[in-house]
Structures are given as structure tokens and as C-alpha cells.
């Protein structure tokens, strides 16, 4: 089968998955990571149960409930640890998507307690899921009363698209993030390059913007980026 036909087949499958739920999207993502032999596969931990996550909040008297889609994410895989002995990876080996290192629940929970609850930049209903390793955080809004409920928000001090210290929406939901990431892997927009003897995450930036804007029509970030071009 030619590359064009394979790409068309993958895109048709992606269209069918748009209403298939988080679980199937995560299964498809795993297939794509395996197809690309993504370095992060060596570091992703086994999933953690909903019960353990809810217990962590209860034991610390924190009245926060993560959306079901996020619990499904943690059930799938429990991110990567802060320190990995014997084979310390570089950030490019851990990225799942652009600037997105999927951190373990325990690491995210520690960040939530030590930074989110103590900073004026955030509200207690924002829980961190991904980070860049250089200051960017991706957080899910957990307040059902918020107009941004379940959106994936981005915090940065460095990206010129967002004013320093602002928290803005980047992905409309966990599922729209997964659809964006899946299509980028399927179309070769996300790929891996050699850097100092390691295979690291790489992107076709403008193609990523096009795909992300399509799947996240209410995102502040992608709209602002499109307005610059």
C-alpha cells in the first residue's frame, strides 16, 4: 500500500474516532507511538486506578474531582517519573506532543500542592497534567461551573503568544487534544529526529497549527497563533 493510501486510511479512521470516547483514542495513540517506536514508550508507567487518585485527594482534604476523561488517561498510563535511574532521558525523548511531557499522577499531585495551590496565577480547580520541562504547564479545568470546564489550559512565562503569566485555553477538551495528537502522528507532522545520538520528538510547526486549530475551534492559543499569520 502506498504512503498516500495509508495516510488516507488513517485519516478516515480518525474521522470515525471523533465520537468514540477517550479509551479508544488512547488505544489508537498507543498504536501510533508503537508504530513510530517513540522513545517515551520506554518511560511511561503502568496506569493508576480511579480509586487511588480519589483517595489521594481525600487524604489531603482537597475537594477536587478530576473529569472522567482525565481518570481514563491515568488508567491508560501513569505518565513518566521525575527521575529515571540508570538511563536519564532528555526532554525530547519524553515529549508526547509539543512541549507536552505527560507526568505521573504523583508528580502532578505534588506540583498541584506545592505550586498550583500557592500561586496567584492559578485557581484551585486547575490540575496539572503535562509540562514542558522549561516552565510551561498544561492544566485541566475541573470546576463544572466554569465556562472552561474540561478544557486543557496552558501556562507559560516564555511563549510570546500568551502574555507572561497568563493561563489560556489551548485544547478544547482531553478528547480534542488526543485527536490533534493522533492526526499529527498519522500525517507525519510529529516525528523523531536524531540529536546527540538520541531520537527526539520533532514537529512540522505550521502543519501542527492547522490540525490543532481544526480540532480546537474555541482555543485562545491557536486562535491567537492563527491571527499572527
Tens of pLDDT, residue by residue over 10-50, are 655 555 555 469 999 999 999 999 999 999 999 999 999 99
Total domain count for the chain?
Answer: 1
Whichever domain contains 208, its CATH number is 3.40.1580.10
Grid cell listed for 174? 482531553
Q: For the sheet containing 167-171, what is the strand order? A: 95-97, 100-102, 126-131, 137-141, 152-155, 167-171
pLDDT at 1 over 50: no
Most confident of 19-23, 84-88, 133-137, 156-160: 133-137
Q: What is the pLDDT of residue 16?
A: 52
Q: What is the pLDDT of residue 227?
A: 73
User: pLDDT exceeding 70 applies to what percent of the chain?
Assistant: 86
Q: What is the pLDDT of residue 84?
A: 55
Q: What is the pLDDT of residue 155?
A: 93
Q: What is the pLDDT of residue 18?
A: 54
Give the closest residue to 213 by CA, choosing from 228, 192, 191, 193.
228
154, 170 contact by CB (below 8 A)? yes
Q: What is the pLDDT of residue 20?
A: 61
Mean pLDDT score of the chain, rounded to an integer?
89
Q: What is the pLDDT of residue 9?
A: 56
Q: What is the pLDDT of residue 66?
A: 98
Range of the domain at 42: 3-227
Give the sign of the dihedral formed by CA 42, CA 153, CA 105, CA 110: positive
- Residue partners of 161: CB distance under 8 A and separation at least 6: 221, 224, 225, 228
**pLDDT: which is higher, 135 or 127:** 127
190 vs 194: CA distance, rounded Å = 14
Could you tell me the pLDDT band of residue 81, with boundaries at 50, 70 and 90?
confident
Is 144 exposed, middle or buried, given 0-12, 13-18 or 19+ CB atoms closer than 10 A? exposed
172 vs 215: CA distance, rounded Å = 8
Could you tell me the pLDDT band of residue 135, with boundaries at 50, 70 and 90?
confident
Average confidence (pLDDT) over 114-132? 96
Amino acid at each position: 500500500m502506498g504512503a498516500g493510501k495509508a495516510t488516507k486510511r488513517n485519516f478516515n479512521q480518525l474521522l470515525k474516532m471523533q465520537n468514540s470516547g477517550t479509551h479508544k483514542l488512547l488505544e489508537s495513540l498507543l498504536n501510533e507511538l508503537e508504530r513510530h517506536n517513540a522513545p517515551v514508550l520506554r518511560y511511561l508507567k503502568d496506569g493508576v486506578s480511579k480509586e487511588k487518585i480519589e483517595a489521594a485527594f481525600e487524604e489531603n482534604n482537597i475537594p477536587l474531582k478530576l473529569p472522567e476523561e482525565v481518570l481514563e488517561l491515568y488508567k491508560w498510563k501513569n505518565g513518566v517519573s521525575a527521575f529515571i535511574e540508570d538511563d536519564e532521558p532528555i526532554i525530547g525523548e519524553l515529549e508526547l506532543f509539543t512541549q507536552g511531557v505527560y507526568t505521573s499522577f504523583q508528580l502532578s499531585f505534588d506540583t498541584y500542592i506545592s505550586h498550583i495551590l500557592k500561586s496567584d496565577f492559578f485557581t484551585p480547580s486547575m490540575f496539572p497534567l503535562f509540562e514542558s520541562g522549561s516552565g510551561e504547564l498544561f492544566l485541566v479545568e475541573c470546576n463544572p461551573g466554569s465556562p472552561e470546564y474540561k478544557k486543557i489550559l496552558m501556562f507559560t512565562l516564555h511563549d510570546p503568544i500568551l502574555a507572561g503569566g497568563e493561563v489560556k485555553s489551548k485544547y478544547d477538551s482531553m478528547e480534542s487534544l488526543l485527536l490533534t495528537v493522533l492526526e499529527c502522528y498519522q500525517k507525519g507532522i510529529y516525528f523523531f529526529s536524531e540529536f546527540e545520538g538520541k531520537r527526539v520528538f520533532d514537529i512540522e510547526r505550521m502543519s501542527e497549527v492547522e490540525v490543532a486549530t481544526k480540532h480546537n475551534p474555541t482555543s485562545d492559543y491557536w486562535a491567537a497563533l492563527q491571527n499572527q499569520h
